[in-house]
Amino acid sequence: MLGFAQLFASRLVKAAAILIAIVVMNFFLVHAAPGDPAMVMAGEAGAADEKFVAQLRQQFGLDRPIYEQLGTYVGKVVQGDLGYSYRQQRPVWDILAERLPATLVLTLTAFVLALAAGVALGTLAAVAVGTWADSAITVIALLAYATPIYWIGLMLSLLFSIQLGWLPAFGYETVGAGYTGLAHAADVAAHLVLPVITLALFYMAGYARLTRASMLEVRSLDFVKTAKAKGLPQRRIVTRHVLRNAILPVITVAGIQAGQLVGGSILIETVFAWPGIGRLAFEAVLQRDYQVLLGIFLVTSVMVILFNILTDILYGLVDPRIQVSQ
């Protein structure tokens, strides 16, 4: 167990180093993009004369040399200060904190659903390989994988909210209803159904295909033969021997995708008008709101790193061989 703590600690130290590098790179990335925030701001204020623009630049420190701006930025980030959005006249951290829960609820629910359904379907297909059930699952998975995610979203809302009227088509909650407690939770859950299904379908297809392929590969390995030779029933062979080994590559892929879910929900949040980080990013790009954009980059990077560490730990728990390399 000491080895485990050590592994965790060393991963955290590495993560911190990676994070600093990401902060610096993000900074340069944003500054490499065309467009001058001072010009945009001045343009929107309606007074675009040279003097005003210069004044804006000076006010926001944009006239300083780039490395000085970088130093200031990194210094602030290390202290936990993500800066101030002059567009929205609020600290970036507050804006993110307001949007983050919505995104996390959406993506994590979708992720868990996709993983559970994907592994279950993949297992089912692998066990019944060559039968109609296998073909049906493979075709559904292929369709879900190939269809553009926004199109599925639009079609689902067309069917379930517009035609049938069962579910709300967009938003996070019923505006102005003033629900509290359980009623509020139920309201959010109803809004959650369509975006979650849309997002989950796509990932589920991937996991189902991966699980199926991995199961079929593991099924032909020697130790499965050993398990059969022991006289174990089919059920036990599948769950204890095949699935446990087949799940390893799924965990690897799921770990990578879990990190990207937060940043990758832009499309789905736009289609369903979901007030999350994804839409915030979209708006920030349009408005050249560098501070917010940098903040979003940072948050999504932290998510990726966090999920990677989680995946490693999970992997270490599932696969005893990993601990050797400590």
Q: Which residues are near other proteins by CB under 8 A?
A: 6, 10, 13-14, 221-223, 225-233, 236, 240-241, 244-245, 318-321, 324-326
d(CA 324, CA 326): 5
Q: How far is the CB of 244 from other proteins (least distance, A)?
A: 5
Closer to other proteins by CB, 283 or 319: give it. 319
Take residue 167 and report the two structure tokens written for it.
């579910």
Closer to other proteins by CB, 245 or 265: give it. 245
Take residue 1 and report the two structure tokens written for it.
């167990």
Q: How far is the CB of 213 from other proteins (least distance, A)?
A: 18
Closer to other proteins by CB, 159 or 318: give it. 318
Q: How far is the CB of 286 from other proteins (least distance, A)?
A: 41
Closer to other proteins by CB, 181 or 233: give it. 233
Q: How far is the CB of 324 from other proteins (least distance, A)?
A: 7
**30-39 own/partner pairs: CB under 8 Å, 24+ apart:** 30/290, 30/293, 30/294, 30/297, 31/66, 31/69, 31/290, 35/288, 36/288, 37/62, 37/288, 37/289, 37/290, 38/62
CA dihedral 178, 184, 186, 189 (to 10 degrees): 100
Closer to other proteins by CB, 163 or 325: give it. 325
Task: Say if residues 170 and 272 touch (Cβ distance below 8 Å).
Answer: yes
* Region of residue 117 (left: phi > 0; alpha: psi -120 to 50; beta: else): alpha
Closer to other proteins by CB, 178 or 231: give it. 231
Q: How far is the CB of 19 from other proteins (least distance, A)?
A: 16
Q: How far is the CB of 211 from other proteins (least distance, A)?
A: 16
Take residue 260 and report the two structure tokens written for it.
């990207």
Task: Say if residues 197 and 166 touch (Cβ distance below 8 Å).
Answer: no
